[in-house]
Amino acid sequence: MNSTSHPQVIVYTTPTCPDCRLLKEWLEREAIAFEERDLSDPAIMAQAKARTGVRVAPITLVQDQVFYGTFASQKPGLVHALGLGPAGAAADKRAQ
């Protein structure tokens, strides 16, 4: 997916990761296009480790910024990096 209004977003995930699911659902609600890469593929895992130094899902790249850990820990940085204002954060609180 490509978006002209937001920077490029790449999300490294695993199929069974609950925080990965929450992150993807939030990006979709915010209409943020993203490319998903599956860390269960050894080649993708090696690529993510080389690029970020991290081996835990989810890993989110917004241009050259790296976010990792739980969705809750990533979200404040992602809101800022994606240029989302309080409206996006407020809408997300209502959805929780």
CATH superfamily of 9-84: Glutaredoxin (3.40.30.10)
Is the predicted pLDDT of residue 87 greater than 90, yes or no? no
**What is the pTM for the complete model shown?**
0.82
Handedness of CA 68, 8, 17, 50 (dihedral sign): negative
The domain limits of the chain are 9-84
Query: Tens of pLDDT along 13-42?
Result: 999 999 999 999 999 999 999 999 999 999
| 34, 77 Cβ separation under 8 angstroms | no
Q: How confident is the model at residue 85 (pLDDT cuts 50, 70, 90)?
A: confident
